[in-house]
Structure 1
Amino acid sequence: MRAIGVEQRRARLARRHLLLPGTRTDDVAALADALVALHSSDPVTVYLSALARMAHPCLAAVDAALYEQRSVVRHHAVRRTLWVATPEVVRELHGAATLALVTPERRRTAGYLAVSGVERPEAWLGAAAEQVVADLRAHGPSTARELGERIPALRQPIVVGGPRWGATQSAHTRVLLGLGFAGVLLRTRPVGSWVSGAYRYALAEDWLPGGLGDLDPRTARAALARRHLERFGPVSTDDLRWWTGWTAAATRAALADVGAQEVALATGPAWMAAGDVAEVEDPGPWVAALPSLDPTTMGWKERAWYLPQSAEQAFDTNGNAGPTLWVDGRVVGAWAQAPDGRMLTHWFEAVPAARRAELDDRLAVLAAAVGETRYSVRFPGREHPRILAGRAEGADQDG
């Protein structure tokens, strides 16, 4: 069994995740594909993850890929998270993860409707879904508010979350979520700028020729496992199970279906794509400034090989990564955009001045691409508020 060391893992990460100057690309679809998909729980992440890997960082190019060329699309997938990926990958994600959510989520919504006094909740839900589809066919992409104005049923108040901790919301939230899980709807261009999460909804078959297809779940899981191994391997079984949200049995079956090759890490056995165990060349020195929830930072459950203990404050208590600064395959710092647009930095360990200057240059590139736009981070690390307040030990207010 081949042994894979930490330095080889970092070399693979740098090259395959397009973090070296020579690997950067302005092809947003290729960029997303190199990471399997881009996190979109925070709309800002999609753009900043792309900018960090583009040869000529440009917000308009990301917009064009999303909403004009539609070479990448947004969809709920693994771990119930919003992702942006190429149509081919989105179809695999849908079959591999999203379809499994349809029945339990519909049952949950019907339960909320029943508790809220709606008679025959399943029939009510089916009728509401039909009205949404008919309305979008007539009017095209629309916001939840616009749909609610035209479809009275979507304004039905329902109690969600149970009798003790329940909250009242309009039914449109659950109806649109369910239609998204079913692959009927996709989230498209938002109202406002690129930092907005107030998306317009469109029929998947109208937005994407052929819609999301009907890929068999086992076939889809195998395809997704292969992609993940090629981009993130070596990964442990736990890494893959965590990233996908699959059961242990489904994870083992997917690894077997793709003929994954077992290798040895210092922490135990892991898997690589078949035929992909050849040594990857040392990339030399490199740096990266990555946003909150970047796919690289969030690519593995076991992170000690790139996340030293000193840098754990870059994550929140739920394991979500805030914005991070990388040197040669390790997280060494965190960063934040100040209200006045400055890029503030914090170092978790001593970093040579020359490497800090390289990271300042990368942050300057991001700042120039973002321009006058100010944004908040929806999933900040624990250090993030202190950086913004100027209280982080080792913070650099001139970053």
Structure 2
Amino acid sequence: MTVLDNRALNRATLARQLLLDRADLPAVDAVAHLCGLQAQEPQEPFTGLWSRLTAFDPASLSELLTSRALVRTHLMRRTVHLVTATDVLAWRARHDAMLRQRVLGVYRDDLKGVDLDELARDARELMADGEPRTAAEIVRELAPRWPGPGARPLGEVVVAALVPMAQAPPRGLWRTKGGVRNVALASWLGRPVDPPAPEGADPVGRAMVRRYLAAFGPAATADLRAWSGLAGLPGAVAAVRGELVSFRDERGRELLDLPDAPRPDPGTPAPVRFLPAFDNAILGYQERGRIIDDAHRGLSVAGERVVLVDGRTAATWTVAEGVVGVAPLRHLSRADRAEVAEEGGRLASFLSDGGSDRVRVASSPH
């Protein structure tokens, strides 16, 4: 079986994640291809798409949210993702059990004795009017009948698990601040989420396996679980295995992939890319060594924005008063620093609507 080293996996990941060459795609198609963007930090998807698309207009992403073609919702790993309306309607029921389990993992004692199905019925009835509500407003309405769990567990389990919700704009719009107001997906999108498949059938799981590999492959089943948060995908993987090709990584793990998906030559040049906090390219795997060194793995879950140089995490970045600041994690050659400064200037211009192209690259690693 062919062994793919880290550099080969790196270039494949960059290609699938639209980071090797910027793609000439509408934003909605890019979000669909990427299986959604992690989006608990509302402004980060704008940088994520700017780094991936040839002519990204942030107003287009805002319009997709207000037109309800894209929604912000709790989905993979119980984190807030920006996904297409089509995908959330198809995928949400497949995530129900995982979402409940993850909330219970935090609030099991608080929710002990609570009939979650009955609570879900009450919450759906409350949200059926289509009015966006904050978690505090939902709790205030439900607490008289459900006083036991306390405000935070009650709000978390309803919003993140029991009722499929969208986060209504202005949350997530370009340069717009807005708190989280939750609205039932069924009201927001005009129809309920797709029901679960009959027992023994898992068309959604099979489609997710194919879609994940198109955006993240080649990958191990452990990577698929880490991305989705779903444990129950072995059956889906088994059902599509005959369509797939297999490789091994340097650790001996089996990697699965779509036969015709891009796997560029490891020598393919990789341009500098500025990634937002919690970017898919890093968090979409259990084994993240293809993008980030083990010594810096903690950055991926700490909300640090990172800079890729030759396809790997080489610096972190911030922005303040129109200036993009870059803090190297290792020595950068003169050519690397020049490319980082050039791309950073373009990012500063994007983030400031052309008001600044200033970049400050620190002289030594931090």
Band of TM-score, shorter chain:
0.7 to 0.9
Q: How many Å separate the matches in 1 of 2:118 and 2:292?
A: 50
SS in 2 for 1:344: strand
Deviation of the 1:355 alpha carbon: 2.1
- Counterpart in 2 of 1:308? 293
- Counterpart in 1 of 2:206? 222
- Counterpart in 2 of 1:379? none
Cα pair 2:12 2:262 within 8 Å, conserved? no
Call closer, same or farther: CA 1:178–1:357 in 2, change over 3 Å.
same
SS in 2 for 1:301: coil
Call closer, same or farther: CA 1:87–1:270 in 2, change over 3 Å.
farther
Q: How many Å separate the matches in 1 of 2:262 and 2:60?
A: 35
Q: How many Å separate the matches in 2 of 1:104 and 1:333?
A: 32
SS in 2 for 1:297: helix
Call closer, same or farther: CA 1:337–1:271 in 2, change over 3 Å.
same
Call closer, same or farther: CA 1:4–1:197 in 2, change over 3 Å.
farther
Q: How many Å separate the matches in 2 of 1:171 and 1:308?
A: 39
Deviations 1:244-295 (Å, cap 9, x if unpaired)?
Answer: 2232xx3332221111432111111323334237753554241100011010
- Counterpart in 2 of 1:295? 280
- Counterpart in 2 of 1:336? 318
Q: How many Å separate the matches in 1 of 2:245 and 2:153?
A: 49
SS in 1 for 2:159: helix
> 1:215-294 residue pairs with structure 2 within 5 A?
215-216=196-197, 218-247=202-231, 250-259=232-241, 260-276=244-260, 279-281=263-265, 283-294=268-279
Unaligned runs of 5+ in 1: 161-166, 373-387
Cα pair 1:78 1:98 within 8 Å, conserved? no
Call closer, same or farther: CA 1:313–1:189 in 2, change over 3 Å.
same
- Counterpart in 2 of 1:175? 158
Q: How many Å separate the matches in 1 of 2:216 and 2:153?
A: 40
Q: How many Å separate the matches in 2 of 1:176 and 1:52?
A: 31
- Write the letter of the residue equivalent to 2:18: L
> 1:372-383 residue pairs with structure 2 within 5 A?
none
Cα pair 1:37 1:83 within 8 Å, conserved? yes
- Counterpart in 1 of 2:84? 86
- Write the letter of the residue equivalent to 2:206: A
- Write the letter of the residue equivalent to 1:130: E
Deviation of the 1:233 alpha carbon: 1.1
Selected match of 1:189 from 152, 169, 182: 169
SS in 1 for 2:292: coil
Deviations 1:149-208 (Å, cap 9, x if unpaired)?
Answer: xx7445788565xxxxxx75495454333443xx3x322213596464623333323322
| Aligned-pair identity (%) | 22
Call closer, same or farther: CA 1:261–1:88 in 2, change over 3 Å.
farther
Cα pair 1:336 1:345 within 8 Å, conserved? yes
- Write the letter of the residue equivalent to 2:88: V
SS in 2 for 1:263: strand
- Counterpart in 1 of 2:357? none
Q: How many Å separate the matches in 2 of 1:93 and 1:124?
A: 22
Cα pair 1:40 1:74 within 8 Å, conserved? yes
- Write the letter of the residue equivalent to 2:306: T
Call closer, same or farther: CA 1:16–1:212 in 2, change over 3 Å.
same
Selected match of 2:127 from 129, 132, 140: 132
- Write the letter of the residue equivalent to 2:224: L
Cα pair 1:288 1:327 within 8 Å, conserved? yes
- Write the letter of the residue equivalent to 2:288: R
With the length of structure 1 as denominator, give the TM-score of the two structures: 0.75
- Counterpart in 2 of 1:377? none
Call closer, same or farther: CA 1:19–1:41 in 2, change over 3 Å.
same
1:369 aligns with 2:354: no
Deviation of the 1:38 alpha carbon: 0.1
Call closer, same or farther: CA 1:241–1:392 in 2, change over 3 Å.
farther
SS in 2 for 1:337: strand
Q: How many Å separate the matches in 2 of 1:391 and 1:291?
A: 19
Cα pair 1:188 1:201 within 8 Å, conserved? yes
Q: How many Å separate the matches in 1 of 2:105 and 2:53?
A: 43
Moved more, 291-300 or 321-330: 321-330
With the length of structure 2 as denominator, give the TM-score of the two structures: 0.81
Unaligned runs of 5+ in 2: 354-359
SS in 2 for 1:275: coil
RMSD (CA atoms): 3.6
Deviations 1:224-257 (Å, cap 9, x if unpaired)?
Answer: 111111221111222122222232xx33322211
Q: How many Å separate the matches in 2 of 1:124 and 1:306?
A: 42
Deviations 1:66-119 (Å, cap 9, x if unpaired)?
Answer: 222x3322221221111112233323431332344358869998974788xx9x
- Counterpart in 2 of 1:5? 5
SS in 1 for 2:283: coil
- Write the letter of the residue equivalent to 1:175: V
